[in-house]
Amino acid sequence: GQQLNQSPQSMFIQEGEDVSMNCTSSSIFNTWLWYKQDPGEGPVLLIALYKAGELTSNGRLTAQFGITRKDSFLNISASIPSDVGIYFCAGSNYGGSQGNLIFGKGTKLSVKP
Amino acid sequence: DTEVTQTPKHLVMGMTNKKSLKCEQHMGHRAMYWYKQKAKKPPELMFVYSYEKLSINESVPSRFSPECPNSSLLNLHLHALQPEDSALYLCATLGGLGYTFGSGTRLTVV
């Protein structure tokens, strides 16, 4: 089946530093999504990417959909303590009203004040 | 309304109990999903409903029984669960802007 390789598995950074994480896949997706999950909560969508090569920003977050449709990265600039959490990439080939997400294993981000 | 609401938020049940998890959305999304998430792991797909019909069952044991009574509601009926079924159960919907997740039900089987 389809699998996503997400790296790094965890990061420990100082407040104010920039963060970069990425996902690669052995197969093509037509949609890439980045989620953040806080303990005991559901994943919250950060950025959705629908076109190969697309670069999208959401505040301090920037994500890109790779040209080959097999990879994506997420950058966080000037990290703050509330950025702490687990970040998941997810790929989908949904069409119409059906389709399911394939998740990466997550990147756990810790930020030291 | 852009939310997916799940109840209860926490549930503790014995292995002989019968309970139900509920999910509600009013976004008009026609695809609804149940995911199971163990600690420090990504969500894993359990069931997909499309237009209120079960379209995907990812080989989930029969002690989990999904139900979609109407386009706004999705239930997950639980019976004779095992301790290893303890997890965060997430409901999600799919619409024009992508997937929206609920906050989940933290289930503990004792």
pLDDT of residue B70: 93
pLDDT of residue A36: 96
Whether A94 shows a pLDDT value over 70: the answer reads no
pLDDT of residue A96: 47
CA distance B64 to B78: 5
CA distance B81 to B14: 8
CA distance B106 to B32: 19
DSSP-assigned states of every residue in B40-60: TS--EEEEEEETTEEEEE-S-
Q: Model confidence over A52-89: pLDDT tens digits?
A: 999 999 999 999 999 999 999 999 999 999 999 999 99
pLDDT of residue B2: 65
User: In chain A, count of helices (H) and strands (E)?
Assistant: 0, 11
A101 interfaces chain B, CB cutoff of 8 Å? yes
What strands, in cross-sheet order, belong to the sheet with B73-79?
Answer: B4-7, B18-25, B73-79, B64-70
| Exposure on the CB side of residue B74, measured as CA atoms within 13 A | 34
- Mean pLDDT over residues A14-30, rounded? 94
Q: What is the pLDDT along chain B (110 residues), one digit of tens a residue?
A: 668 999 999 999 999 999 999 999 988 888 999 999 999 899 999 999 989 999 888 889 999 999 999 999 999 999 999 999 999 999 999 877 678 999 999 999 99
A103 interfaces chain B, CB cutoff of 8 Å? yes
CA distance A73 to A15: 20
CB contact (8 A) between residue B48 and residue A97: no
CA distance B39 to B11: 16
Please answer whether residues A15 and A110 qualify as being in contact, where contact means their C-beta atoms are separated by less than 8 angstroms: no
Please report, rounded to a whole number, the percentage of residues in chain A having pLDDT higher than 90: 74
CB contact (8 A) between residue A100 and residue B33: yes
A53 vs A93: which has the higher pLDDT: A53
pLDDT of residue A97: 45
Tell me the nearest-neighbour CA distance from B88 into chain A, angstroms: 8
A84 interfaces chain B, CB cutoff of 8 Å? no
pLDDT of residue A2: 66
